[in-house]
Chain A
Amino acid sequence: MRKALKIVVLAKQVPDTRNVGKDAMKADGTVNRAALPAIFNPEDLNALEQALRLKDKFEGTTIEILTMGPPRAAEIIREGLFRGTDGGVLLTDRKFAGADTLATSYALACAIRKIRPDLIIAGRQAIDGDTAQVGPQVAEKMGWPQVTYAEEIANFDGKELTIKRRLEHGVETVACPLPMVVTVNGSAPDCRPRHAKLLMKYKHAKTVTEARELQEDPYLSLRESRGLTITEWGVADVDADAEQLGLSGSPTKVKKIENVVFQAKEAKLLTAADGDIDSLMKELIESHTLG
């Protein structure tokens, strides 16, 4: 039986919110993207590693990264190529801008219908929005089953994937037929490092937009001879309904943004005396934290 898979990995370029300085937030409470370096969303890297492992195991498997964002998000496609993907598509168009999760998953689903993969793997959530909605929404739009919180894609028998899920109280192993969507947890293995030879091969890969913006382009002929053009799709390329895209396709309305700073003072100091422990137990039971 042929076990080659056609995989699309959904990945997002995000501001690095893990090491934030003072200027991470703007006065209006929104993220100051200019002050934070743009990185490959961490859990999408976990997803990519799962895809690469399938490619290692099942000959003929191909991986494409699908990402939506501004022209500079082409970096995400290159990062994939450096690690062993076969290519990717950057969805970029002013009409995609301002999308919430619904409009994003609509745009992605339109592109996926064009690529026609067997399997979609995505990170559980992105560190800028933390919604964990895009993966599941894509599954719904495609009408495919989904397995969330995946930690390991353990097996593929030609029809079904066996997947280990990391849940709050343990691990659950499930089997699911293709085509399907898997979203991967941060507890899954880290992504492999960039490969030296792939890095040198693909470092010149660029989208048409990127190439156009270069002052001078000494590697133009190299890109042509080595086939290093990254695919870029706009709205017209994915047959999308403009109404369902970008701001107009986004029902989410931000009511208020609050800057929450955790206070160490909220901790409660207890002694090891029986009385203290007893009252804590009662408090936890009453608040339904326990039991």
Chain B
Amino acid sequence: MANFFNDNTDFQYHLNHPMMKKIVELRERAFRDAATCDYAPVNHQDAIDSYNQVLSVLGEICGDVIAPNAESVDHEGPTVVNDHVVYARGTQENHDALKQAGLYGISLPRRYGGLNFPLVCFVMSNEMVARGDVGFENIWGLQDCAETLNEFASDEIKQEFLPRVCNEGATCAMDLTEPDAGSDLQAVMLKAHWDDAKQTWLLNGVKRFITNGDGDISLVLARSEEGTSDARGLSMFVYDRRHMAVKVRRIENKMGIKGSPTCELVFTNAPAQLVGDRKMGLIKYVMALMNAARLGIGAQSTGLSEAAYREGLKYARERFQFGKAIIEFPAVYELLANMKSRLHASRAMLYETTRFVEIYKTYETIAKERKLEPEERNEMKFYARLADAFTPMLKLFSSEYCNSVAYDSLQIHGGSGYMKDYAVERLYRDARITNIYEGTSQLQVVAAIRHVTTGTYLTQIMAYEGMEYCGEVEHLHRELIEMRKEYETVVAAVVEKADNDYIDFHARRMVEMAGHIVLGYLLVTQACEEDEYRRSAEVYIKDGRAENRKRAEYIHSSDPKDLELLKMSVSATTV
């Protein structure tokens, strides 16, 4: 009898965020669907009420079906039978429940049978599903692929595939990685050739590490231009599982997220349709897909932090040692307070980023219907840039934080946490992939660093700095101003060396410094709403301040020669 939506007031904060007015307005285009669709809202209040009620249904499924199934799914995992994936019993039940509740296609347009909810609601759903079962969130979250089809595919392809997602709960996969193309997707080899006789593209080759690889609808990155070897020879295709031309060779035996089938796939003359334009596969479509997927990992990580924090808190209250509950000991409540502040910070960043993505994406969709007004174009560009800067920062922070929250939660459990008897053991293993897949933390820094050097982060920090805050958090605001000054000094000191390797060397430190300030501001914004948020802001900024000083100290005392030292210390002559 648990409801993961109703038991978490943070969702109400974000559903009632001032920017939601604009988001709903853009998404519903003056509520025009109400005339033709009997489940479309007629005004803002009606829309928000629908989001609340439907997310509550989802929250109930997460609490009553998905979370209780998580343990058995972790033990059973999926299997391969006759070259195809069979989900664990619990995974199938989770999928069936969500399908039965008509929740698939949550943010797809109503003309395809979707619910047309804002991205904010899809992200909330991802977070709740992940809190129930981290691995299952992959299957649910891969609806991103349907979003990508909606964005770039032809009307015929959309008509063919999107109603299946909405009405039949068809699941998706994105087939990018290959044995020799992981972080470096330019090296993709899987071949696509046009068959004149059959009047279709045919795919041949191998994909590896494909999440839900046997899903109903697969987006496949393939080399369509013979004789090429870089990104410009790659196109995006959509493959329908009903062709039965792709075999699952094996499922990986992973450390965590065991319910999520990670497949090695063999394509043998698999018929597929081209999505969008040739040669734009990696450059345009995969980039869009990856950005959506990174937002998804942000949600997955936040949901995981929520689960791990709750497990730690519950255990600390129940476990008695030395005559009292262990939560009474400073060493334990300090851990919990920091866990909670990181959880709140992750979530604040998650929805801020989502709002930025939502606004510019919706403008892009509107631009296909009519010409945007100049101020709309400017707004679209403004939010697109912020989304580009915030997405890698979100992925970096939320995934690293869920690892730390799961680690600390297990620590609170002591020896019991090391045993399979407690959920935290699973969460700890599940967390470890979040800062690896969809781009490692190191790659997020690569994406984020240009926003340090070009000043996107600083500009946004200054915007937050100029906002009005209530008197109770004035001291935190002052603290953040000091942190911003320190950050500016550090960035100047690094950039001044005019050495790209040196910038790379300190990139993570600088991105993290910017992050602590951004997340600090987001918490301060919320702090005036509720005491609980204010305490989280206090805890977070205290820790962030010290973290930034440490980084500043390291940067100010280092030199480009340090790189040589690091390189030499692991050179070929040493072990």
Contact = CB atoms under 8 A, between A and B. Distances in A.
A222 B42 contact: yes
Nearest to B115: A196
Interface stretch (A64-72, A136-144, A197-205, A251-259): A197-205
B440 interface: no
B38 interface: yes
A196 B54 CA distance: 6
Interface stretch (B10-18, B100-108, B207-215, B503-511): B100-108
25 contacts: A19-B1, A193-B61, A193-B100, A193-B101, A194-B57, A194-B101, A195-B101, A196-B54, A196-B102, A196-B106, A197-B115, A199-B53, A199-B57, A200-B39, A200-B40, A200-B41, A200-B50, A200-B115, A201-B39, A203-B50, A218-B45, A219-B42, A219-B46, A222-B42, A226-B38
A201 B115 CA distance: 12
A282 interface: no
A193 B97 contact: yes
Interface string B432-473: 000000000000000000000000000000000000000000
A130 to B, nearest CB: 20
A192 interface: yes
B376 interface: no
A139 B331 CA distance: 66
Contacts of B61: 193
A192 B97 CA distance: 8
Interface in A171-193: 192-193
A221 to B, nearest CB: 9
Interface string B1-24: 100000000000000000000000
A194 B59 CA distance: 12
Contacts, number: 49
The 7 A-B pairs of least Cβ separation, nearest first, read A200-B39, A193-B101, A196-B102, A195-B102, A201-B39, A197-B39, A196-B54
Contacts of B100: 192-193, 195
Interface in A160-174: none
A196 B57 contact: yes
A162 to B, nearest CB: 25
B49 interface: yes
Nearest to A199: B53
Most chain B CB atoms below 10 A, which of A19, A192, A194, A200? A200
Interface of B: 1, 38-43, 45-46, 49-50, 53-54, 57, 60-61, 97, 100-103, 106, 115
B43 A196 contact: no
A199 to B, nearest CB: 6
Given A192-B101, A196-B106, A198-B39, 4 more contacts: A193-B57, A197-B39, A199-B53, A200-B54
Contacts of B1: 19
A222 B46 CA distance: 11
A9 B527 CA distance: 50
Contact of A196 (B42, B97, B103): B103
Contacts of B39: 196-198, 200-201
B103 A218 contact: no
B53 A193 contact: no
Contact of A200 (B43, B53, B97, B101): B53
A258 B43 CA distance: 52
Given A195-B101, A197-B115, A201-B38, A218 B43 contact: yes
Most chain A CB atoms below 10 A, which of B1, B97, B102? B102
Nearest to B113: A197
Nearest to B41: A200
A197 B50 contact: no
Interface in A215-242: 218-219, 222, 226
A193 B64 CA distance: 11
Most chain B CB atoms below 10 A, which of A196, A198, A199? A196
A193 B1 CA distance: 13
B38 A196 contact: no
Nearest to B46: A219
B414 to A, nearest CB: 31
Most chain B CB atoms below 10 A, which of A199, A201, A226? A199
Nearest to B34: A222
Interface in A40-73: none
A139 B46 CA distance: 43
A195 B61 CA distance: 12
A218 B49 CA distance: 14
Nearest to B54: A196
A68 to B, nearest CB: 26
Contacts of B42: 219, 222
Contacts of B103: 196
Given A219-B42, A222-B42, A226-B38, A197 B102 contact: yes
Nearest to B97: A193
Nearest to A18: B1
A188 to B, nearest CB: 16
Contacts of B97: 193
A199 B43 contact: no
Contacts of B53: 199-200, 203
Most chain B CB atoms below 10 A, which of A19, A197, A218? A197
A156 B45 CA distance: 45
A198 B49 contact: no
A260 B47 CA distance: 48
Nearest to B38: A201
Contacts of B40: 200
Contacts of A192: 100-101
Contacts of B57: 193-194, 196, 199
Contact of B49 (A19, A193, A194, A203): A203
Contacts of B45: 218
Most chain A CB atoms below 10 A, which of B39, B41, B54, B106? B39
Most chain A CB atoms below 10 A, which of B54, B57, B101, B115? B101
A219 B103 CA distance: 25
Contacts of A195: 100-102
A226 B115 CA distance: 18
A255 to B, nearest CB: 35
A218 B43 CA distance: 10
Contacts of A199: 50, 53-54, 57
A219 B1 CA distance: 32
A203 B52 CA distance: 12
